[in-house]
Amino acid sequence: MTELRVGLLGLGTIGVGVARILIEQKELISRRLGKEVRLVAAADRDLATDRGLDFSDIRLSDDANDIVTADDVDLVVELIGGYEPARSFVMTALEHGKHVVTANKALIAKHGEELFPVAAEKGLQIGFEAAVGGGIPCMKALREGLAANAIESVYGILNGTCNFILTKMENEGADYADVLKEAQALGYAEADPTFDVEGIDTAQKLSILAAMAFGSKIKFEEVFTEGISKITAADIESAHEMGYRIKLLGIAKPHGAEGEVETVEMRVHPTLVPLASQMAQVSDSYNAVQISGDFVEHTMYFGRGAGERPTASAVVADIMDIASGFPDGIAHLAPPMGFVQSSRRDKPTMPMADTECEYFIRLMVKDKPGVIASVTSILADHRISLEALIQKERHASHNVPIVMLTHETTEGNLQAAISRITGLEAVEEDDVLILRKESAVA
């Protein structure tokens, strides 16, 4: 029976999960593929810890270089995470003719455009299903399942930490800081939560999804990114009263005449989604991705976005895909980014000022006559019409919260109006929150 030999970099949580599947599901995997997948070697700086698995048939090393250059390894699984040394190890593995599977979204988002051409030239595959949406096979759905479609939009709840925090804030009426502490205690948030709560993790994943959807290049640093740290329990309640739930979404859409992708819109921010939508039901640390195409219409993919076992499931799915094409190279696999490397195009990111949205605006104003008139007349000057306006009860501070929902306008126009509004003497500049609304989520 044909055998694919796997070398594993990193025996942390996910690495142990991958090793566990390759050992425990050995028979299932060969029944599915008609081929063997064998874990031959693994590297980790810490070889002393007992991982509860029988590694007696597996070569262990404390140096990843032993794996990426080994003659008896056909495929390297990179689960070190971060930019370096992950990038160098992956590059060396490719240079030594090894396929690569990784769960590292940071690596793909930042260095993918350097790695993909090397892989393509050498007839090697890079699999990264686990990098976006954890266990959900959404990369495969987008790349292969929806391949007959021009993709019209991608919406994703891509970060379980943020979704856990927002769900708890809503269910308990609690404020951000309190729930963050609880999430940290439960292990759902890091000690330094910036990467998750400020939307950076979501932006990395979105940049990969967008490039795969539209046949463009990955431009993580150009994604407009806002996190959830300014949202209050009162904002969540106001949104709810208006018929919406707040979710941190990554959103990508193509723009151009006659189906040509000319620019790519990419933004990550807290978003109002209709309460009755599928997306609004995605709670706790679950993830979901909605992908719409010109033929298929709306589709959605839901599941665990993180964790040892779900993430390992996605890593091993990639390994099995590559095993299908093995040993004859990857001429028979869908290209990693869903378009053959030579047809991927460098498309500019749409300037955020040009994007169009409906907005949720929360202001704190001094309780004086005429303030609402001043605010609404500035919006009218900018031809921004209102769908709803709620004036809440006065705070202890004698300031009054006002919440508005606008009809569609451009970000540039909205920001110009907001800048005039925050210039009003009666408006507290620090207490302005702008959220965006998406009615098109299914």
Query: Would you name the residues annotated as active-site residues?
Result: 205
* Residue 271 vs 311, nearer CB to a copy of itself: 311
Using DSSP's 3-state secondary structure scheme, residue 264 falls into strand
CA distance 64 to 70: 10
DSSP state of 63: -
Is residue 247 marked as binding? no
23 binds a copy of itself (CB under 8 A): no
149 binds a copy of itself (CB under 8 A): yes
Is residue 190 marked as binding? yes
74 binds a copy of itself (CB under 8 A): no
DSSP letters, 157-217, are E--HHHHHHHHHHHHHT--HHHHHHHHHHHTSS-SS-HHHHTSHHHHHHHHHHHHHHHTB-
65 binds a copy of itself (CB under 8 A): no
300 binds a copy of itself (CB under 8 A): yes
129 binds a copy of itself (CB under 8 A): yes
At its nearest, how many Å lie between a copy of itself and the CB of residue 215? 6
* Binding to a copy of itself, residues 335-364 (CB under 8 A): 335, 338-340, 342-343
Residues 201, 190: contact at Cβ < 8 Å?
no
Using DSSP's 3-state secondary structure scheme, residue 138 falls into helix
Residue found by looking up tokens 């003659």 in the block: 71
Number of residues that bind a copy of itself (CB under 8 A): 67
Binds a copy of itself (CB under 8 A): choice among 15, 112, 137, 336: 137
Residues 149, 122: contact at Cβ < 8 Å?
no
* Residue 324 vs 413, nearer CB to a copy of itself: 324
Binds a copy of itself (CB under 8 A): choice among 23, 60, 233, 333: 333
CA distance 168 to 166: 5
Q: How buried is residue 60: exposed, middle or buried, by Cβ count under 10 Å (0-12/13-18/19+)?
A: middle
* Interface ranges with a copy of itself (CB under 8 A): 17, 21, 25, 28-34, 129, 135-137, 140-141, 144-150, 215, 276-278, 281-282, 293-304, 307, 309-310, 312-317, 319-321, 324-325, 328, 331-335, 338-340, 342-343, 442
Annotated binding site for NADPH: 105
Annotated binding site for L-homoserine: 190
